[in-house]
Structure 1
Amino acid sequence: MLAVAEHLSFHRAARSLGISQPSVSARVKALEEDLGVRLFERNTRGVRLTEAGRLFVEQVSVGVDQLDHAVKTAGMAAMGKCGRLRIGIHALIPHSFLAELIGQYRETNPGIEVEITEGTARDAVMQLRADQLDVAFVAGSPELPDCHTRLIWTEPLVAVLQERHPLAGQPTVTWADLTGETFLVRHGGTGPQVHDHIVLRLAGRWPAPSILRFDVGRGTLLSMVGQGFGITIVGAAASLLPITGIVFLPFADEPEPVPFSAVWSPCNRNATLRNMLALAGKMNRRGDSFRLAWQQ
């Protein structure tokens, strides 16, 4: 019908469609009978649209355009070229591996709407299970029977001390050096994991560590260290933050750097997620380079 309206000729419409003219005429006649209106006026010079036909073609054309757009959009979504990606994070530090990963993903996928939620690993996993996130980046290598996990990057663990602290001039520290210190940790982000790590490393030592928990951001916590409230431990990427009055000292007795993993639901077949994980894999060497460069 649209071909006839475009060419105003059954013959030319049939030729453009690659079918016979009688077939085109029969289809248009059947449509007119179904609608109960005449769409074309036929004469010896060809055909022309009736007013009803003109209005019908306008509406149908809009629908065809919308359908074409929907088909193209679905195809792009299947390739991960449009849509959204919901990411859970513990923090987004400028120039860190995670910040570079998200930045490169957005640059190479301008059609993707990236949504970021900050919180603890526990919160992120709960949101994954509720289909409120597509992927979460968490500290550690969690073993979750209902989720997929993959190691993405690593960072050395460092102690953060006030620059006037007696240990601040040392090249490294040990956990024994920190016995009796007051540790500051956050309620949010990686705070719960930091708390558990301190308890594990200083178990059995005397005096027992004092661990104070605060509902503040990472930057505020580091500023509190600079003001003498206590000390804390972080991944080395935190050293990229522009906080004055503190020093970052690597541990001499931490056997391995801190792993950071991606966690996602095995039911999530989102192509945007697949593309993000593929990019993270390509950038993994850069994460190792950051770790080695920091240690040197």
Structure 2
Amino acid sequence: MFLKGCYALMEDLEETVRQARKAHRGELGTLAIGYTDFAISGALPRILDGFRRAYPEIDIELTYGSTRQQLDELMLRKIDVAFLTSPVTGADIETLPVQHDRFVAVLPQTHPLASQATVDIHSLADEPFIVGVMARWRHFRRHLDALCLKAGFAPQIVQEVHNTEGMFGLISANVGLTIHIECAANYMRQGVAIRPLEGISDNDVIVTEAAWRSTDMSPALTRFADYLRTDAAAPA
């Protein structure tokens, strides 16, 4: 009985050593990742799918949050990586652009402008806008306000919502319209029309970035950051 127990202990020890070596190489571990509406409807699903295939023994824990919330959680070490709306600043924060989106108009399908192939931003000056609440959409609201002001108007806000799903629901109910980004086309919603936005600069884009603490790199996080760099360098 003692001999059998010793064999079992040795097998457990060998397995523990193997697991520890995998963790040291960044092939085993856990990553806590935060994301925004834009990230989850854009590049993030593809990135996660590819990374999980490459490193199936690294567990991914996903948390939804606004850009500001994710930055706070990143500094408090509650998450390892944040996918958020640029620009991002902070001490010891490294960032990498993973997604570039142009602006689009999102309209009720019955709206007269929905019959056009594109929508000029100036034609939205007197329209009722549905936008995200400032507490969660602060970064994007700055981009939206700047875009509209450059076109000579301020959005006439009639309703604020917490997420894209609620925004599109109200648009399909003909409550108003909005300016969103092109990854919104990945939301399948009846009663909503998405059209490219004209009358703006080619440089008017929204960038989604991955951010992490450069001074707190675990082996698993190093693997993920390297994967992101390789993915970003690959041809579109």
2:156 alignment partner in structure 1:
210
1:104 alignment partner in structure 2:
50
Match of 1:137 among 76, 79, 83: 83
1:153 matches 2:77: no
2:176 alignment partner in structure 1:
230
Q: Give the Å deviation of 1:188.
A: 8.4
Distance in 2 (alpha carbons) for counterparts of 1:162 and 1:172: 14
Is the deviation greater in 164-173 or in 120-129?
164-173
Q: Give the Å deviation of 1:205.
A: 7.2
Distance in 2 (alpha carbons) for counterparts of 1:188 and 1:63: 57
Quick check: which has more Rg, 1 or 2?
1
Partner letter of residue 284 of structure 1? A
2:109 alignment partner in structure 1:
163
Q: Give the Å deviation of 1:98.
A: 1.2
Change (3 A) 1:210 1:261: same
TM-score in terms of structure 1 length: 0.70
Q: Which has the higher strand share?
A: 2
SS of 2:145 mapped into structure 1: helix
Aligned residues: 232
Q: Give the Å deviation of 1:62.
A: 4.2
1:259 matches 2:207: yes
Distance in 2 (alpha carbons) for counterparts of 1:78 and 1:274: 11
Distance in 2 (alpha carbons) for counterparts of 1:98 and 1:207: 33
Is the deviation greater in 199-208 or in 226-235?
199-208
CA RMSD of aligned residues (A): 2.6
Partner letter of residue 232 of structure 1? T
**Gap runs ≥5 in structure 2:** none
Distance in 2 (alpha carbons) for counterparts of 1:276 and 1:189: 29
1:21 alignment partner in structure 2:
none
Match of 2:15 among 69, 86, 89: 69
Match of 1:271 among 199, 219, 222: 219
SS of 1:251 mapped into structure 2: strand
1:221 alignment partner in structure 2:
167
Q: Give the Å deviation of 1:64.
A: 3.4
The answer to whether the Cα contact below 8 Å between 1:119 and 1:189 also exists between their aligned partners in 2 is no
Percent of residue pairs identical = 23
Alignment of 1:1-296 (within 5 A): 55=2, 57-91=3-37, 93=40, 96-187=42-133, 191-203=137-149, 208-211=154-157, 212-215=159-162, 217-252=163-198, 253-256=200-203, 257-284=205-232, 289=236
Residues 60-113 of structure 1, C-alpha deviation per residue, up to 9 Å, x if partnerless? 54443333222211110122211111110003646x321111111112221111
SS of 1:168 mapped into structure 2: helix
1:25 alignment partner in structure 2:
none
Is the deviation greater in 77-86 or in 271-280?
271-280
**Gap runs ≥5 in structure 1:** 1-53, 290-296
The answer to whether the Cα contact below 8 Å between 2:32 and 2:60 also exists between their aligned partners in 1 is yes
Q: Give the Å deviation of 1:137.
A: 0.7
Change (3 A) 1:161 1:189: farther
Distance in 1 (alpha carbons) for counterparts of 2:112 and 2:140: 23
* Structure with greater contact order relative to length (CA < 8 Å, sep ≥ 6): 2
Partner letter of residue 224 of structure 1? L
Distance in 2 (alpha carbons) for counterparts of 1:205 and 1:174: 10
TM-score in terms of structure 2 length: 0.86
Change (3 A) 1:86 1:146: same
